[in-house]
């Protein structure tokens, strides 16, 4: 049986601070805002390959716990090469509101290299390069 779907159209992320998350994606990662909805505060962003909808959290909660919550564990983004991965890490590690979980390292035994952060709105992001 073949799949009935064609991949992910977009991924919607609820963030604690829409403006901080939007600034991170457009400023630190170079994404482009292509829309949004002021009535249901959101911003639509793209890197030219993937699309994200950033939704403003309505009520402050206890925060995300990847071990306890059903749903999103993290969002993984890929880059073209290891030099780009390292350059992105240098940009985001000191970005206001970013929490670094770990810097660039092998994923398992490699050869994939990745790092993990929380962007200013609270979403856990993995960025990686895989030479395979």
State pLDDT tens for residues 33-70. 999 999 999 999 999 999 999 999 887 766 666 666 66
77: domain range? 11-58+73-129
What is the predicted pLDDT for the residue at 70? 60
What is the predicted pLDDT for the residue at 120? 96
- Does residue 2 form part of some domain? no
Q: Give pTM, 2 decimals.
A: 0.88
- Does residue 1 form part of some domain? no
Q: What is the mean pLDDT of residues 4-9?
A: 87
- Does residue 104 form part of some domain? yes
- Does residue 4 form part of some domain? no
In this model, does residue 123 exceed pLDDT 70?
Answer: yes
- Does residue 65 form part of some domain? no
In this model, does residue 73 exceed pLDDT 90?
Answer: no
Query: Which CATH number goes with the domain that contains 29?
Result: 3.10.180.10
Whole-angstrom distance between the N-terminal and C-terminal Cα of the chain? 28
- Does residue 102 form part of some domain? yes
Q: How many helices (H) and strands (E) would you count in the chain?
A: 2, 8
Please give the tally of structural domains in the chain: 1
Contact at 8 Å (CB) between 20 and 97? yes
Burial class of residue 78 (count of CB atoms within 10 Å of its CB; 0-12, 13-18, 19+) = middle
Strands (E), 28-89: 32-37, 42-46, 51-56, 75-78
- Does residue 95 form part of some domain? yes
Q: What is the mean pLDDT of residues 79-108?
A: 97
- Does residue 18 form part of some domain? yes
């Amino acid at each position: 049986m073949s799949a009935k779907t064609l991949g992910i159209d977009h991924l919607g992320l609820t963030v604690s601070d829409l403006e901080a998350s939007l600034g991170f994606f457009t400023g630190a990662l170079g994404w482009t805002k292509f829309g949004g909805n002021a009535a249901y505060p959101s911003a639509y962003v793209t890197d030219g390959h993937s699309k994200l909808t950033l939704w403003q959290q309505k009520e402050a909660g206890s925060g995300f716990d990847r071990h306890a919550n059903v749903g999103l564990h993290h969002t993984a983004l890929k880059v073209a090469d290891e030099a780009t991965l390292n350059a992105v890490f240098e940009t985001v590690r000191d970005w206001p509101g970013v929490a670094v979980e770990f810097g660039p390292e092998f994923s398992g035994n490699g050869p994939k290299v990745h790092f993990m952060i929380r962007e200013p709105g609270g979403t856990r992001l993995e960025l990686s390069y895989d030479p395979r």
